[in-house]
Amino acid sequence: MALELSERVRTFGAGSSRIADLPDLAEIQKSSFKWFIEEGLAEELRAFSPIKDYTGRLELHFLTNYNFEDHTEPNKPKTPEDARALDASYTKKLRIQMRLVNREMGEIKEQEIYVGDIPMMTDRGTFIINGAERVIVSQIVRSPGIYYKREVDTNGKRTFSATLIPNRGAWLKFETDVNDIIYVKIDKNRKLPATTLLRALGYSDSEMEGIFRHKEFLKKTLDKDSNKTREDSLIEVYRKLRPGDPPSVAGGQSILDSRFFDDKRYDLGRVGRYKLNKKLSLSVPEAQRTLTREDIVAAVDYLIGLHYDEGHVDDIDHLGNRRIRSVGELLQNQFRIGLTRLERIVRERMTLQDADTLTPANLLNTKPLVAAIREFFGSSQLSQFMDQTNPLAELTHKRRLSALGPGGLSRERAGFAVRDIHPSHYGRICPVETPEGPNAGLIGSLATHARVNAYGFIETPYRRVEGGLVTDQIHYLTADEEDNFRVAPGDAPVNDDGTFVHPLVPVRYRAEFIETGPEQVDYVGVSPIQIVSVGTALIPFLEHDDANRALMGSNMQRQSVPLVRTERPLVTTGIERQSARDSGMVIVADVEGVAEYVSATSIHVRTKDKRLVKYRLSKFQRSNQDTCLNQKPILRVGDHCKPGDVIADGAATNSGELSVGRNLLVAFMPWEGYNFEDAILISQRLVFEDVLTSIHIEKLEIDARSTKLGPEEITREVPNVSEESLRHLDENGIVRIGSRVYPDDILVGKITPKGESEHPPEEKLLRAIFGEKARDVRDNSLRVPHGEGGRVVDVKVFDREKGDELPPVANKVVRVYIAQKRKVSVGDKVAGRHGNKGIVAKILPTEDMPFLPDGTPVDIVLNPLGVPSRMNVGQTFETLLGLAAMLTNQRYEVPPFDEMYEKEASSMTVHREVVKGKAMTGFDWIGDDGKVTLYDGRSGDAFENPVSVGKIYMMKLVHLVDDKIHARSTGPYSLVTQQPLGGKAQFGGQRLGEMECWALEAFGAGYSLQEMLTIKSDDVNGRSKAYESIVKGENLRRPGIPESFKVLVRELQSIGLDVSVAKRTREGQEVEVDLMTEVEEVRPRGLRRLSPFGEIGLESELAELSRQTAIPASAVATADPDELVEDGDNEVVGDSYEGVVDVLTPSIPIVEALIGAIEAPDFSVDVDSEPEDLIDDSDEA
């Protein structure tokens, strides 16, 4: 059945012309950065210019003719590709023209000054910082402006408040109380009557009565206000804002001026001024960024009007009141922070240095400015390591909107209202795509057709409707503007002549959903997918899936790994091509011409004017997520291309279309319990034919540093290592490209000098003869980690001596790239596009899989019970249309929300196509419902009931079992508790916690439990003895005392409780045991060692260590020093495959033990568990 597929068939060809073309999907990033370079930077320079000294003698002007230059130094990257290769940042030099004016002398000095390196955006909308691609996520924040709020108290009395929020500066809040008195709060200080502020601003009582519409309401506040003159009011304002300082009229005036009318301290911003003018119907010019007296009067007047039901209160979750801060604005803010620091330094230097010899260059110290920018890219919450798993992941990351970050919300404080879907999100923010978990609703995705306007508000396009006729005029509306119109959805059925099909059209008006006649409709949506994001719009039959599952589907498409053999989906939605093109992972032609030369690494296109344009393809590059980025040419020699054509495929694209999975033949039926609870049964064909095989490239690196005892050295001469281990290394001790390596193989040989002690005479003689060769060095080589391995595909060596830029401590850095080919295996996570995910539970030989009557075995068997309760019925539609695609040898494009074309459109189409395919092939064994009688591959018998069979697009996700599987026999232990560490990264064990202990107790498995709590965990001597016994094949001895018990005893002793441990002899006497000396006796002689304090006995060493580290002496370890690891809270632990399993036992909080000790004279402590287990058994037998 593997025929070459024809082009896609649109299931509904006719009405598709109504669907508008998508805009450039990465535009939000590119246009914003372009604005910063062209305008944002100049705006900030203008705001800070001039910087004057304290006497006003000197002025430093920033002129707005600045330029960005490429680097000319040989080791500085000039292109994004160079930056990736050198692990450097892709930046350009910023030079600014400065003018220093000396007012006294009347002289002017001009200079162009190099300010620093500013990271530049690549054509893909990303930044390269230290060799890694990063994305600046757009932030969605509350817009500056004025917000009115209504509150109703228990008696039903309404009060109103108004909050004036600037871009930066003091907040101003007006509120009314139950007695209708208006108060004002400045920056959350104590409140004072609003009339006091108005009087301080210069309004008399008579003027106030004249400028407000409802003067009788204001009269109550005037009567309540004790200050009757302007001077009293200014003194009162000063008293409230600076309590404790002696008040004065001049002080009151200056504090008011600086708080609200000084553009250095107060800035409404362009948006704030726009919102304020709009809300209060003012006509203050946009350049006026501070408050005016009129603003304050209008704000109070509107507040009074609300009591008379004039005007309306605001909804802070409405998108008219939330705006987007994209890259450009975030960078501009950061630049302002840098310039503020710079300004202080310049002022100081103006004062301290001689004015005659000053030049702009020696006034400026540009470090703070560069540091502010670098800090933003390196550590801001909004500067994120780009998700590069596949093209969709990259595209979605650039379109992400986050409410978190500086100046935004925090996860803990965000309530339900902020996270919820709001009617104004329609066509602006996707209602489906958001993370699961604590960030749900705080991180969203821009809808497909949305764009951000100059003020930062999201706009969405609509077609104008005039007199009931849909026109071709497209208008972009913000959420505020849209509230005044009646808007029909994008899937409202429309005839070819532009009239609506139905006499009543559903519309949205002011956040309400109503039905109205076609004449009343003002606008209609441009496309049914305009309400969702790109990730969601890629789900076919989206309208038949429950939103929770669609959310999982959108999120999981981003996690799918690029496969070695890509395949376009048989059932598509039509935006796969544009998603791939705008992601930046494919190569797009920017000229018209003919391909003259095509190879795996480059494409040369000859244009009409005989120019030769060369495109370089990247081969087997490692992505941020360790997947493989490889480009393959689509163009052949002689082919014609035009601007915008995809000429080379990237990862997870095929023929320029997004292809993140494979079309697999699926059967919905249970199979021997192997697909119970979301497990999945797959055929061995998927392994043998590399259907779900992906390539992963891992980066390992090592650096040679300078130590106190001498420099580390990268060499092949590694001590105490067999020649076998060095087989892959070249003469410099670095692995050869092309070597196949396995766990624990040496990749880079490195030796570190060891502390040298006084040498015996024979060694001195050897040194004299052989020179330095016999010196003390330690093997610190880079080895392949556990469970890794593969083919070395690249090695990069950076050397300080050759002029490479390296971190301060390193002299040489070697990076080794290892590629692995990973076939699908048991434990891998696979998923469809409808949130139907599962883990591969069994890989069955192809001949045992259920097969169709024509002998075709199915590829994958899914559990039918996974569909009804999850309500993602879209997968069954996809399966059946996939079956039709397989029969008719076509691909289908299914627009979402297809009810706009006909009633029950999806099921009618699917049914029609299956019947058509059945007729074309003559396969009469397919039922009209698309069900098939399958045969058991093992016995050849037919299954009892017909089964739904078809093609479904399945993806292999990045959660691969090879990265998660982990086992340990022995390994590192925590220094304090002596328990094994936790986690794969620490090579830790599995925790045996409180509940696991109960489970073993419930089964009465006493010996297993004792072993787990002692020799597999923190019985220091017992575990080494047990290991020895296993190696020698002897019986295990009785476990000893766990370290955690000793820690407990020492903790209790340390707070002054006399706790001792006694041992009952055979004669029945109780003899006190000193746990610590017992350790000393049992301790193997070889472990008396040179400590940092010279050769000393255990007791004094423990005392010294505990003094230094503030750890109870009992807690200091007694095992092999190389195995002691200091770790934080990360103590969990032990899977096993051979030898001893390491198990962690929980420690006991000291206070609980104390309470037990005080309450019960005879108390027993269950050392293996949590505080709830401290029991008083004095009354029990």
Q: Residues 264-296: pLDDT tens digits? A: 889 998 999 999 999 999 999 988 999 998 999
**pLDDT score recorded for residue 596:** 95
**pLDDT score recorded for residue 919:** 94
Beta bridge partners of 1070: 1064
- Name the nearest CA neighbour of 149 among 342, 314, 269: 314
Least confident of 30-44, 123-137, 964-978, 1134-1148: 1134-1148
Give the confidence band of 21 by pLDDT, cuts at 50, 70, 90.
confident
**pLDDT score recorded for residue 937:** 95
Cα distances (angstroms) measured from residue 865 to each of 675, 677, 935, 1073: 10, 8, 21, 62
504's tokens: 């009543």
- Name the nearest CA neighbour of 222 among 161, 210, 291, 152: 210
Q: Which DSSP symbol is given to 168? A: B
Whether the per-residue pLDDT at 712 is higher than 90: the answer is yes
What angle separates helix 874-888 from helix 905-921, to the nearest 10 degrees?
30
Model confidence pLDDT, tens digit, residues 305-317: 999 999 999 999 9
In contact, 702 and 750? CB cutoff 8 Å: yes
In contact, 186 and 174? CB cutoff 8 Å: no
Cα distances (angstroms) measured from residue 44 to each of 121, 685, 769: 20, 62, 70
In contact, 813 and 734? CB cutoff 8 Å: no
Model confidence pLDDT, tens digit, residues 694-704: 999 999 999 99
- Name the nearest CA neighbour of 530 among 499, 492, 564, 566: 492
Whether the per-residue pLDDT at 1138 is higher than 80: the answer is no
Least confident of 357-361, 679-683, 864-868, 1099-1103: 1099-1103
CATH class of 391-544: mainly beta
Give the confidence band of 4 by pLDDT, cuts at 50, 70, 90.
very low
Count CA within 13 A, CB hemisphere, residue 582. Answer: 23
418's tokens: 């902020």
Q: Cα dihedral sign for 589, 592, 598, 604?
A: negative
**pLDDT score recorded for residue 1115:** 39
In contact, 675 and 843? CB cutoff 8 Å: no
Residue ranges covered by each domain of the chain: 1-19+657-693+824-958, 27-141+327-385, 144-318, 391-544, 694-822, 973-1173
Whether the per-residue pLDDT at 1167 is higher than 60: the answer is no
Q: Rounded mean pLDDT of the chain?
A: 87
**pLDDT score recorded for residue 350:** 87
Residues 6 or more apart from 1107 whose CB is under 8 A from it? none
Instruction: Provide φ and ψ at 684, rounded to 5°.
Output: -65, -20
Instruction: Provide φ and ψ at 938, rounded to 5°.
Output: -80, -40
Model confidence pLDDT, tens digit, residues 794-820: 999 999 998 888 888 899 999 999 999
Amino acid at 735: V
C-alpha to C-alpha distance for 975 and 1108, rounded to whole angstroms: 14
Which residue do the tokens 């072993």 mark? 1011
C-alpha to C-alpha distance for 1008 and 999, rounded to whole angstroms: 11
Question: What is the signed CA dihedral for 931, 936, 942, 946, rounded to 10 degrees?
Answer: -20
C-alpha to C-alpha distance for 966 and 441, rounded to whole angstroms: 34
Which residue do the tokens 């304050």 mark? 296
In contact, 828 and 687? CB cutoff 8 Å: no
Whether the per-residue pLDDT at 113 is higher than 60: the answer is yes
Whole-model pTM?
0.86
Neighbours of 578 (CB within 10 A): 20
C-alpha to C-alpha distance for 946 and 559, rounded to whole angstroms: 34
Whether the per-residue pLDDT at 1110 is higher than 70: the answer is no
Whether the per-residue pLDDT at 227 is higher than 80: the answer is yes
Amino acid at 597: Y
Q: Which DSSP symbol is given to 4? A: P
**pLDDT score recorded for residue 1177:** 39
Beta bridge partners of 409: none
Element containing residue 787 per DSSP (H, E) = none
Model confidence pLDDT, tens digit, residues 1016-1046: 998 999 999 999 999 999 999 889 889 999 9
**Which segments within 1081-1170 are labelled E, that is strand?**
1090-1091, 1094-1095, 1124-1125, 1143-1144
C-alpha to C-alpha distance for 383 and 267, rounded to whole angstroms: 26
Mean per-residue pLDDT, 410-439: 94
Element containing residue 915 per DSSP (H, E) = helix 905-921
Q: Which of 173-187, 419-433, 1122-1136 tops mean pLDDT?
A: 419-433
- Name the nearest CA neighbour of 932 among 909, 951, 905: 951
Residues 6 or more apart from 254 whose CB is under 8 A from it? none
Strand 145-152 versus strand 138-142 pairing type: unpaired
Element containing residue 893 per DSSP (H, E) = strand 891-893
Beta bridge partners of 893: 10, 572
Give the confidence band of 470 by pLDDT, cuts at 50, 70, 90.
very high
Q: How far apart are the first and last CA of the chain?
A: 78
**pLDDT score recorded for residue 576:** 93
**pLDDT score recorded for residue 1106:** 46
- Name the nearest CA neighbour of 871 among 543, 536, 554, 558: 543
Model confidence pLDDT, tens digit, residues 718-772: 988 988 989 999 999 999 999 999 999 999 999 999 876 667 788 778 777 776 5
Least confident of 176-180, 590-594, 1096-1100: 1096-1100
Least confident of 219-233, 964-978, 1140-1154: 1140-1154
642's tokens: 């035009």
Residues 6 or more apart from 302 whose CB is under 8 A from it? 146, 148, 162, 279, 280, 311
Amino acid at 1151: V
Element containing residue 833 per DSSP (H, E) = none
What angle separates helix 27-35 from helix 327-352, to the nearest 10 degrees?
20
Mean per-residue pLDDT, 558-583: 95
- Please name the fold of domain 694-822: OB fold (Dihydrolipoamide Acetyltransferase, E2P) (2.40.50)
Give the confidence band of 208 by pLDDT, cuts at 50, 70, 90.
confident
C-alpha to C-alpha distance for 456 and 322, rounded to whole angstroms: 9
Least confident of 418-422, 774-778, 1082-1086, 1161-1165: 1161-1165
Mean per-residue pLDDT, 1133-1154: 41
- Name the nearest CA neighbour of 957 among 562, 563, 658, 560: 560
Mean per-residue pLDDT, 671-694: 96
C-alpha to C-alpha distance for 47 and 343, rounded to whole angstroms: 12
C-alpha to C-alpha distance for 958 and 559, rounded to whole angstroms: 6
Whether the per-residue pLDDT at 1092 is higher than 50: the answer is no
- Name the nearest CA neighbour of 333 among 121, 141, 59: 141
In contact, 24 and 588? CB cutoff 8 Å: no
Whether the per-residue pLDDT at 545 is higher than 70: the answer is yes
Homologous superfamily, domain 144-318: RNA polymerase Rpb2, domain 2 (3.90.1110.10)
C-alpha to C-alpha distance for 186 and 381, rounded to whole angstroms: 30
For the domain 27-141+327-385, what is the CATH code? 3.90.1100.10
Give the confidence band of 1112 by pLDDT, cuts at 50, 70, 90.
very low
**pLDDT score recorded for residue 1094:** 40
Mean per-residue pLDDT, 975-985: 89
Whether the per-residue pLDDT at 323 is higher than 90: the answer is yes
For the domain 1-19+657-693+824-958, what is the CATH code? 2.40.270.10
